[in-house]
Chain A
Amino acid sequence: MPTVTATKKKTVRINGCVASAQAAKYADVDVIAAYPIRPYTATMMALAQMVANGELDAEYIVADSEHSQLSIAHGASSSGARVFTGSSGVGVQFAYELYSPISGSRMPVQMMIADRTLDPPGDFGSEHTDALSTRDMGWLMGWACDAQEAFDNHLIAYRIGEDRRVLLPQMVCQDGFFVSHITSDVELPDSSQVREFLPPYKHPYPLDPRHPVSHGPQIMPEQGPPLQLERARAMEGSMAVIEEVHKEFGEIFGRHYDPWLEEYKTDDAEVVFFLQGGHGVTARFAIQHMREKGLKVGMVRLRTIRPYPTDRVCEVLSKFKVVGVIETNMGLGSPSSGGVLYADACAALYEAPERPLVISFMAGMGGEAIVLKEFYWMTEKMIQAQKRGKIEKRTHWVGFEE
């Protein structure tokens, strides 16, 4: 039975962290596994307050580390609970051991990430490297660009992950500070809408003394591949479910998202930025500015990176002459010697009959905003390449070059 008090639709001014906490409350989570690290901590603070106030009936467990935190989440999910957890930066890394076991045992744990640059040195600013480093562990993963989208993504992710056809954990990411700590208007739904969209969670084979089963047994080497194949099938198979759920979300809540990509002013664009997360908001403003100057620039914002919408990326990006990938992550020694988004984009484009030129921009690093001047600079680089028919080099470190 839902334990959340019935509420009416209302608009509140909250930041991304609180939006995530609100989403967890609306999802009526059973277990919350917390361990503090900035900037995501504010989410757990908000949830603690909700539990203390009696707004939310959930087990709130403070772990002794992120490793324990994810272990608690794993165990709680195995027992059939809807679980909410989260972390930032190196905290995400410390729990690394658990990511594959959780997805391998097909437990739809949800983890909120407010990105933080990995050490060293201690830097609270947002870089996506923390969550992206776990991107191949079998978790559904995507970035919101504002608090409202963050709120919506949490509900959508639970619905997808808990679908019997999927049963996979989800990382619902937002940029630290740009999203997590900047307030904006968020429409909180009517609780009946959430009930309609997100039914109570029921795992098919929970740990239950009345029906004993073993989770995570040791297996023979030849029994590994079929289980891996099943997990791959679940990840691929989730794509249809993701589309279905986003459609239903739009119908119930009135906010329609393309599950994979947001296209902004791309109709006649010749060069586009390809990015994910909070920089999409500033990119929209910059593009408006540059459009007024007659530059045919647009933006494609990746909303879901796992599963990677390869065909869709290929179809969309191949319409343009030049694609500028804004990384906001570190992929040291990666194919572009910049970030990791470039390689995925290029791989998606490889089969396209007409391939655009692709440039990687190391921008928005360390939690710095990408300023208007830099968007102009990057656009100029793309236009030059378009004219030249050839890129100058694969990766530019924005702000460090002429």
Chain B
Amino acid sequence: MSTKGTKIPDWLTVPFAGITPAPSQDKGQNLFPTGNWRAIRPVYRDKLPPCNNACGTNEKIQGYLDLVKRGKYLDAYALIKEDMPFPSVTGRVCYHPCEQACNRGKYDEAISIRAVERFLGDLGQALKHDVVKPGKPNGKKVAVIGSGPAGHSAAYQLARMGYKVTILEKSPKPGGLNRGGIPVWVLPPHVLDREIERLVELGITLKTNTEVGKDVSWDDLKKNYDACVLAVGLTEPNSVRAEGENKEGVLYGLPFLRDIGMGTSKVKLGPRVAVIGGGNTAIDCAREALRQGAVEVTMITVEANTQEMPASPEDLHDMFEEGVDLWHGRAMTAVLGNGKVESLQLHPARFSGAINASPINIDRNAPAEKFAVDNVIIAVGQHASLNWLPPEFKNERGTIKIDRFGRLGDTNFFAAGDIAQFGSGQPLMVVNAVGDGKRVAFNLDKALRGEPLQPRTIAIDVIMDLNRMNMTYFPHFPRVHQGMLNPITRKKTQDEVIQPFTEEQAVEEAARCFSCGTCNACDNCYLVCPEPCITRPERSNGLYKIIVDYCKGCRVCIEECPTGCLEGVPELDFDTGVVRMDTAFAISPGLHGRQAQELVNLASRPAKNI
């Protein structure tokens, strides 16, 4: 008998025929550790969704859409508030570069992110107490000059970090461009007022009617504050330098909107109005002109077509709906009339370069057109008014000279927003100014604490591409559209044109999100693992773990991960036989990335317990 006298040692004792009891939630299948077969290891590594990347202030868009999908609205609101002080505002005014970047746009229709943001912003407005609290006071005082998007954002972030912030605003009402550059039928004043209240609730002191260079000097700022953020914006309208531009009836875009926004407008428009310019402000002016009593509004642009215009296609569409006429390829060369505008002289024109800020070539030899109007509104950008600034901090564009961290030389002065723009020379959009203010606030904090600063431009992480996702899991589903007021009646009123999402609409739209590259706790890996060696204490992003003692690296979870969050990492990249969580998760802003600190602490724990 060959088996006589044989004995199986305890440590090799296995169940009858290897028949394995059902796996448990925390240990998985723990009888037959076959992890040493593995050549690749599945790793949850959140990539940057394209929406987060495209957003001017890098809102964690995938994150809050996921929370909305799950009905966790307050958590979603708190998440958006990390990067965006006023989602109720951007939920209305933003040009939503996130939606242009949305991977879903390459599949059926982009997610209506802005509408969900507005849903969350309005939810936040209704809260008695905001979820955001001021930081522990650090005893340092910061002045923020200007209460527009960049200043608002910087002040908000600084207050959250514990700074004693004072905002100096030269106008009688705070809000800057948010109040003076955006029509009330896009952004009702009470919405902005509520967001300003939130700033005051954070302990920020707001001084209106306080102008730098007049009420406060450069030296006062230096003396009275530990640091200062200059976010004064571009306040002075550009001229087109046409003959007769000083005639009565000639208006400028930003002051036109600003006076209406501040409630100080005395303008009375005639029935025929022309708007010069092809940007978003020009569109707002044209539509506002209708609401101010104009009957025929014509927009005149140098751009040869709508594609060239630096304007959002939706705003253009809404403008056409309201009946504004649009002329291309013309420049206004003179304002004609006897003391008052009677007509405009137009010549064919085009930009000399590829961008709208390049010089304009006007064909003055061509026959001039004469166009009869009662008013003309010139909306071709604006420039700075910086006579209070020491000349060494001015640049050749007439804005503030900063280093790549947003700092003025080696001072504790920082600048953000339009006044510190570089690049194309185009004014920033609201969301970009918010992001700029946020990054400058963080750098200011670092500077005062003596830490190395971060460049204003963000480091590009891996941006998730549609091709790396498993589209089998995403059925086509149309975008949920926001309601709109009727164009015939709305153009006579100041009522908000775009209607909010209902809760059901917000959830339905958020549920369309692919969650590109970021774990959204879909449970697919957990279900498809044949061993099974994936556990999670609950269905939540960041709580999934691979029990590597049993994972053979079969790749099924990786292939079947809808979002592409799971990656196969060659086993040789690891220096231990068990998972090292600090390498398993990325630094990108997904929720997994949020565990970074917690994961660092794991280093001191025995590997088996990780």
* Residues of A participating in the B interface, judged by any CB pair closer than 8 Å: 104-106, 167, 204-205, 211-220, 222-223, 225-227, 229-230, 232-233, 236-237
Give the complex CA separation of A314 and B14 in angstroms.
36
> Chain A: which residue is nearest B1 at the CB level?
A236
Interface residues of B in 1-18 (CB under 8 A from A): 1-3, 6, 8, 12-14, 16-18
Evaluate contact between A229 and B3: CB separation under 8 angstroms: yes
Evaluate contact between B14 and A219: CB separation under 8 angstroms: yes
Evaluate contact between B18 and A213: CB separation under 8 angstroms: no
Give the complex CA separation of A229 and B6 in angstroms.
8
A226-B8, A236-B1 known; A214 vs B19 contact (CB < 8 Å): yes
Question: Is B552 in the interface zone, CB < 8 Å from A?
Answer: yes
> Chain A: which residue is nearest B8 at the CB level?
A226
Evaluate contact between B19 and A227: CB separation under 8 angstroms: no
Q: Residues of A contacting B22 with CB < 8 Å? A: 211-214
A226-B8, A229-B3, A232-B3 known; A213 vs B19 contact (CB < 8 Å): yes
Evaluate contact between B3 and A219: CB separation under 8 angstroms: no
Q: Residues of B contacting A232 with CB < 8 Å? A: 2-3
Evaluate contact between A236 and B3: CB separation under 8 angstroms: yes
Q: Residues of A contacting B32 with CB < 8 Å? A: 217-220, 223
Give the complex CA separation of A215 and B16 in angstroms.
10
Partner of B19, one of A215, A225, A226, A237: A215
Q: Residues of B contacting A204 with CB < 8 Å? A: 16
Partner of B20, one of A211, A217, A233: A217
Question: Is B587 in the interface zone, CB < 8 Å from A?
Answer: no
Give the complex CA separation of A211 and B21 in angstroms.
9
Partner of B16, one of A106, A212, A219: A106
Q: What 11 new A-B contacts, CB under 8 Å, besides A218-B34, A223-B32?
A: A205-B17, A205-B19, A214-B19, A217-B31, A218-B32, A219-B32, A220-B33, A223-B18, A226-B12, A226-B14, A230-B16
A-B pairs with lowest CB-CB distance, top 5 = A212-B22, A214-B20, A106-B17, A219-B32, A233-B3
Chain B interface main SS type: loop
> Chain B: which residue is nearest A218 at the CB level?
B34
Partner of B2, one of A105, A205, A236: A236
Give the complex CA separation of A232 and B6 in angstroms.
11
Give the complex CA separation of A215 and B19 in angstroms.
5
Give the complex CA separation of A105 and B3 in angstroms.
19
Q: Residues of B contacting A220 with CB < 8 Å? A: 32-34, 36
Q: How many residues of chain B get a CB closer than 8 Å to chain A's CBs?
A: 23
Question: Is B29 in the interface zone, CB < 8 Å from A?
Answer: yes
Q: Residues of B contacting A219 with CB < 8 Å? A: 14, 18, 32, 34
Give the complex CA separation of A232 and B5 in angstroms.
13
> Chain B: which residue is nearest A221 at the CB level?
B36
> Chain B: which residue is nearest A215 at the CB level?
B19
Give the complex CA separation of A236 and B5 in angstroms.
13
> Chain A: which residue is nearest B20 at the CB level?
A214
Chain A to chain B contacts (Cβ below 8 Å), 6 pairs: A204-B16, A205-B17, A214-B22, A217-B31, A222-B12, A236-B1
Evaluate contact between B18 and A216: CB separation under 8 angstroms: yes
Q: Residues of A contacting B14 with CB < 8 Å? A: 219, 223, 226-227
Give the complex CA separation of A223 and B14 in angstroms.
7
> Chain B: which residue is nearest A103 at the CB level?
B17
Q: Residues of A contacting B552 with CB < 8 Å? A: 218
Q: Residues of B contacting A218 with CB < 8 Å? A: 32, 34, 37, 552
CB A387 to nearest CB in B, in angstroms, measures 38
Q: Residues of A contacting B8 with CB < 8 Å? A: 226, 229-230
* Residues of B participating in the A interface, judged by any CB pair closer than 8 Å: 1-3, 6, 8, 12-14, 16-22, 29, 31-34, 36-37, 552
Give the complex CA separation of A222 and B18 in angstroms.
13
> Chain A: which residue is nearest B9 at the CB level?
A226
> Chain B: which residue is nearest A225 at the CB level?
B12
Evaluate contact between A105 and B17: CB separation under 8 angstroms: yes
Evaluate contact between B13 and A226: CB separation under 8 angstroms: yes
CB A170 to nearest CB in B, in angstroms, measures 17
Give the complex CA separation of A233 and B17 in angstroms.
12
> Chain A: which residue is nearest B11 at the CB level?
A222
> Chain A: which residue is nearest B32 at the CB level?
A219
CB A227 to nearest CB in B, in angstroms, measures 6
Evaluate contact between A217 and B36: CB separation under 8 angstroms: no
Q: Residues of B contacting A230 with CB < 8 Å? A: 8, 16-17
Give the complex CA separation of A232 and B552 in angstroms.
29
Evaluate contact between B17 and A227: CB separation under 8 angstroms: yes
Q: Residues of A contacting B13 with CB < 8 Å? A: 226
CB B536 to nearest CB in A, in angstroms, measures 19
Considering residues A213, A220, A236, A237, which has the most beta carbons from chain B within 10 angstroms of its beta carbon?
Answer: A220
CB A350 to nearest CB in B, in angstroms, measures 15
Give the complex CA separation of A211 and B20 in angstroms.
11
Give the complex CA separation of A366 and B498 in angstroms.
90
Give the complex CA separation of A232 and B31 in angstroms.
22
Q: Residues of B contacting A236 with CB < 8 Å? A: 1-3
Give the complex CA separation of A226 and B14 in angstroms.
8
Considering residues B19, B22, B32, which has the most beta carbons from chain A within 10 angstroms of its beta carbon?
Answer: B19
Q: Residues of B contacting A227 with CB < 8 Å? A: 14, 17-18
Give the complex CA separation of A104 and B19 in angstroms.
11
Q: Residues of A contacting B16 with CB < 8 Å? A: 106, 204-205, 230
Q: Residues of A contacting B19 with CB < 8 Å? A: 105, 205, 213-215
Partner of B12, one of A212, A214, A223: A223
> Chain B: which residue is nearest A164 at the CB level?
B16
CB A337 to nearest CB in B, in angstroms, measures 28
CB A214 to nearest CB in B, in angstroms, measures 4
Give the complex CA separation of A227 and B13 in angstroms.
9
Give the complex CA separation of A227 and B19 in angstroms.
11
Q: Residues of A contacting B33 with CB < 8 Å? A: 220
> Chain A: which residue is nearest B22 at the CB level?
A212
> Chain A: which residue is nearest B550 at the CB level?
A218
